[in-house]
Amino acid sequence: HVQLVESGGGSVQAGGSLRLSCAASGRTYSKWCMGWFRQVPGKEREGLATIDSRGITAYADSVKGRFTISQDNWKNILYLQLNSLKPEDTAMYYCAASHYPYGGVIALTATLYRYWGQGTQVTVS
């Protein structure tokens, strides 16, 4: 199994920035895909950004140019840099992982991921 723990959420004013972290532990795979998703009550979970073991990234149009996904392989940490935040970015943000290296926009599909963190709240006012 893989355990994921998110951190870095908080409250910020519009136009501000945050950096979310996702610490991964447990079984490791040579091929994988990890991503960031968000969800607000009453809506489906939205894929924001993904990266796989080949370094292929994908972004949702809603965050392209504002959010950046990156990883620290040595520390097994996934990051999401959030810039130019808007009130509509307010949501619970989740980290997810799969042991299949999905690449491209298909990787933004939440149902493809087996492992999920508990989420970290981002509030933009």
What tens digit of pLDDT does each residue of 15-64 get?
Answer: 999 999 999 998 878 888 999 999 999 999 999 999 999 999 999 999 99
Handedness of CA 9, 13, 14, 19 (dihedral sign): negative
Residue 75 has pLDDT above 80, yes or no: no
pLDDT value for 19: 98
pLDDT value for 16: 98
| Residue 61 structure tokens | 């149009």
51-74 pLDDT, tens digit per residue, is 999 999 999 999 999 999 999 877
Rg (CA), the chain: 13
| Locus of tokens 């840099």 | 81
60-98 CB burial, b ≥16 within 10 A, e <16: beebeebbbbebeeeeebbbbebeebeeebbbbbbbbbb
